[in-house]
Amino acid sequence: MSGARMHADGLARCPWPGDDPLYVAYHDTEWGVPEYDDRALFEKLILDGFQAGLSWITILRKRDNFRRAFDDFDPARIARYDAAKVQALMNDVGIVRNRAKIDGAIGSAKAWLTIQEEGPGFSKLLWDHVGGAPKVNAFKTTLSVPASTPLSVKISKDLSARGFKFVGPTIVYAFMQAVGMVNDHLVDCHCHDRCGAAKRPARRSAAPARTIAQRQR
């Protein structure tokens, strides 16, 4: 029951997306695909924080609403949210209306900006923990997949110390799975080999690195 599941299209997949078309598309095209963009990583971390206590499909169905409400997850704008904006978010039925999580997103945006301005950059900070490439696991069943690991505990402590909120070890590990820092597609899933072989795009990483280097001179 907890191994890879064959679908009507002839492809074996991890069992968790079931037959929900939105969830299956997310599984096939996003989950576990290495993400190196600083802002996209921020967005996913914030959404994983909002997921706490809920199912990911709930957040996924509201993701477009979240993007609209949170200015496409632009950290510079979120960091400047005032009481009126927070109240507007609390009145927005299209998102998860949780005051602590909204405040947490604002605090995390400020922490993200500090990392971008003072170094090393959010993507580098995260990916350096796994040597810059996905850690490829070989789980055969979902029961074998951990909820957290010593590495997610370490990253959680690092992010918390820098001012990020809702970044406990379990949330961080779910984030690591989603952005491809670890490849936890089951070995029989058709996405396992593809995600494990993904390479870091050179053009997306080069420009931020030069900007940081210039600031340090």
Which residues are annotated as part of the binding site for Zn(2+)? 14, 27, 185, 189
**In Å, how far are 10, 32, 57, 86, 217 from 214, measured between CA atoms?**
51, 32, 41, 35, 5
Known binding residues: 14, 27, 185, 189
What is d(CA 210, CA 21) in angstroms, rounded to the nearest whole number? 41
For residue 137, give the nearest of 180, 190, 199 by alpha carbon. 180
Torsion-angle region of 56 (φ positive above 0: left; ψ -120 to 50: alpha; else: beta): alpha
What is d(CA 19, CA 6) in angstroms, rounded to the nearest whole number? 11
Burial 88-118 (b: 16+ CB within 10 A, else e): ebeebeebbebeebbebbbebbbbbbebbee
What is d(CA 99, CA 103) in angstroms, rounded to the nearest whole number? 6
The encoded tokens of residue 47 equal 């959404």
What is d(CA 43, CA 74) in angstroms, rounded to the nearest whole number? 8
